[in-house]
Amino acid sequence: MRSISVSKDFSGARLWLRTSVLVLVGFLAFSTIYAVGLEPMVYLHDTFHDIRHSTGFPCH
């Protein structure tokens, strides 16, 4: 019997996937902070008021 060994190198694909996920997570985090931090509506301001102060984001 012959044994066939298939070796595939996925290191490039893993690096690309890891980089893509990190970029996407960074973009979502930045856009969420930006949207919440600059939101003029009073109810969102009140909802995230304590979070803003605890992270050092000025709100008033």
- Determine contact, residues 28/42, Cβ cutoff 8 Å: no
- 4 falls within a domain: no
Residues (pLDDT < 50) of the chain are: none
Q: Is residue 60 part of a domain?
A: no
- What's the number of domains the chain is made of? 1
Within a domain: 8: no
Q: Look up the domain containing 44 and give its range.
A: 27-54
Q: Let me know if residue 14 belongs to a domain.
A: no
22's enclosing H/E stretch is helix 11-37
Q: Does residue 36 sit within a domain?
A: yes
Q: Is residue 37 a part of any domain in this protein?
A: yes
Residue 31: per-residue pLDDT: 84
pTM over 0.85: no
Q: Under a CB-based contact definition with an 8 Å cutoff, are residues 59 and 45 in contact?
A: yes
